[in-house]
């Protein structure tokens, strides 16, 4: 609530848009923001930040994520 968004929060070096998912160890094509569909989901779930980096408690979050999204692979 207290946070104000500046008009252009993007850095200036956006001319080179990544075409691949920025998540660590992923080389899939990005489709949303800079993520592949799978990692976009991760981002939405808070598993990774927008740079694709994992938080220190990633393992815990990932396990919670998996238990929420159990699916037959
Ligand atoms: Zn990915």
Tens digit of each residue's pLDDT (9 = 90 or more) over 16-39? 555 899 998 999 999 988 899 999
Do 45 and 65 form a contact (C-beta atoms < 8 A)?
yes
- For residue 60, give the 3-state DSSP assignment: helix
pLDDT at 40: 95
| Structural domain for 60, as ranges | 18-68
Q: How far is the CA of 25 from the centre of ligand 1 (A)?
A: 8
Domain membership flag for residue 36: yes
Please give the Cα distance from 73 to 62 (Å, whole number).
Answer: 16
CA of 63 to the centre of ligand 1 (A): 18
Structure-block tokens of residue 36: 């592949």
The predicted model scores a pTM of 0.67
Question: How many domains in the chain?
Answer: 1
Distance (Å) from CA 42 to ligand 1 centroid? 9
- Say if 45 falls within a structural domain: yes
């Amino acid at each position: 609530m207290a946070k104000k968004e500046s008009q252009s929060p993007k850095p200036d070096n956006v001319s080179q848009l990544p075409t691949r998912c920025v998540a660590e160890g992923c080389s899939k094509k990005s489709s949303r923001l800079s993520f592949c569909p799978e990692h976009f989901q991760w981002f939405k779930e808070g598993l990774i930040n927008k740079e694709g980096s994992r938080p220190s408690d990633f393992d815990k979050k990932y396990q919670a994520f998996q238990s929420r999204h159990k699916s037959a692979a």
